[in-house]
Amino acid sequence: MPWGHKTVLLCGLAIYILSLVVGVEEIQRHDECADLNNTTWKEYRQQNDKLQVQYLLMTRRNMDCAHMFNQESLTQQASYFNISRPTKVIIHGYRALGSKPAWVKELGQALLRVQDVNVLVVDWVYGASFAYNLVVENYKEVAVQISVLINQLQEHGCKLDSFHFIGVSLGAHVAGFVGTLFEGKIARITGLDPAGPMFKGADTYDRLDPSDAQFVDAIHTDSDYFGISIPVGHVDFFLNGGKDQTGCARSRFASMYGYVICDHMRALHVYMSALNGSCPLIGIPCSSYEDFLKGNCLDCDVFKGRCPVIGLSENSRITVSPVPKEQKLFLLTTSSPPFCAHHILLVLEVSALDKSADVEVTLRTENLGTEHRFRIQADTTVYRTVLSHPAALCEIHSIELKNIGAFYRQGDVHVKSVCLSEIPSLRREQPLCVNNINIRRGARWSHDFVQVCGFF
């Protein structure tokens, strides 16, 4: 069981690796620029297990050079904090060995490129930050401290509905508890792979849930390990099913980073990429990943045809009211930025089989190929699956089928039809179909499509 292996690793080695990976430094620092504290284990221990919280401010005027921020900053003329603008609050998660997260600046900058806002970064760490369960017991104290600052900002004229919290891992539950303290009046909370261990069975009071803000969205990428497997927001995007991400190592021998934390951190990287806005990352509502992969969920009709999208769009672009709760959304991604994939529904119908058949299908767009292997059982004649392909349906140049069954198990396969369509099926395009194909064992069959994009 992967859980067993991973747990053993966590006990020591993984935490060490984690700190190396997460603690990578930004190279350049101006002397006057504030940064997240980078205190060592020993130094924190000497602070008597006390919670340390400080805030950094980034705005469009100081995108490269964060300033320290506190209540006094508000009364100073020189502060860049603008109370008439919305505020994004970034909360990092558990910091093994107190090393600082390296992605904070990039996330702040990505947010500022999209919106002219105040970005407050919460820098928190416990003296005892090295035991995850101790930190979990105490994370609410961080939320209480943040709520003190928010109260002060309110006294200066900031409105609760101008705050959007973005919490990574454990930071998502910290944000959730701030939301609880303000009775759900905060505008929005975004949870980036909200932490799972010790939270899945927790009461909604103790974890992020839809009542914590007017709108709560979450991205799930490691729900079988560091992340939470249940929906915690109004909308919950489960990337590639929410457990294992493409391009992350499945074996600890291949890459430590890949094995231990790549899945968990993918939510953050996909979110930053969505903010960069090179392509839309939309989720398709479905009750389970299995149903989604079987092509049982093909549209966003429950949202009047507008699929929810990852990023800063209001209510993830949902206009129906009331906004749903704990709506699971599924999407497939590619393994590297910008992560967007096209969802292609493959439907293959064969004539009755004597024995099960193993088939490999390849979709090609120039040098990009998507390969998928599957088995059709003897008692079925139709196989349906949703595949991720880097290009749109209209850009697929060819399809290949190969009969890959072992000789003693499988004879020729007669394919009555193979059809491709793109989902969500918003434009009601006709599927691309090829009919009546015989593929002999070991042989490869291929068909070129002649099509042009953009006639709709």
Pick one of 258, 337, 390, 431: the residue that binds ligand NAG (CB under 6 A).
337
Name the minimum Å distance from CB 106 to ligand NAG. Answer: 6
381 lines the binding site for ligand NAG (CB under 6 A): no
Count of residues of this chain found to bind ligand NAG when the rule CB under 6 A is applied: 16
Pick one of 40, 46, 251, 287: the residue that binds ligand NAG (CB under 6 A).
40
Nearest to 339 by CA among 286, 266, 265: 266
Mark the binding-site residues, compressed into ranges. Answer: 207, 209, 212
Q: Is the peptide bond before 285 cis (omega within 30 degrees of 0)?
A: no
Q: What is the DSSP letter of 231?
A: -
Place of tokens 């590639």: 240
82 lines the binding site for ligand NAG (CB under 6 A): yes
| For ligand NAG, the closer CB: 88 or 234 | 88
User: Interface mask (CB under 6 A) for ligand NAG, residues 96-135, using x and -?
Assistant: --------------x-------------------------
Please say if 169 is a catalytic residue.
yes
Helix (H, G, I), strand (E, B) or coil at 4: helix
Nearest to 193 by CA among 215, 162, 214, 217: 217
Pick one of 75, 84, 321, 436: the residue that binds ligand NAG (CB under 6 A).
84
Please say if 129 is a catalytic residue.
no
Nearest to 122 by CA among 100, 97, 154, 155: 100
Site for ligand NAG in 182-221 (CB under 6 A): none
Strands 118-126 and 51-58: antiparallel
438 lines the binding site for ligand NAG (CB under 6 A): no
Q: Calculate ∠ Cα 48-66-82, nearest 5°.
A: 110
How far is 366 from 238, CA to CA, in rounded Å?
29
Place of tokens 């932490």: 195
Name the minimum Å distance from CB 267 to ligand NAG. Answer: 12
Annotated catalytic residue within 99, 129, 162, 169 = 169
62 lines the binding site for ligand NAG (CB under 6 A): no
Annotated catalytic residue within 123, 193, 217, 236 = 193
How far is 92 from 9, CA to CA, in rounded Å?
23
Pick one of 269, 328, 342, 389: the residue that binds ligand NAG (CB under 6 A).
269
With 0-12 / 13-18 / 19 or more C-beta atoms within 10 angstroms meaning exposed / middle / buried, residue 293 is: middle
CA dihedral sign, ordered 369, 386, 225, 204: positive
38 lines the binding site for ligand NAG (CB under 6 A): yes
Name the minimum Å distance from CB 57 to ligand NAG. Answer: 13
Q: Which residues bind ligand NAG (CB under 6 A)?
A: 35, 37-38, 40, 52, 54, 82, 84-85, 110, 269, 272-273, 276, 337-338
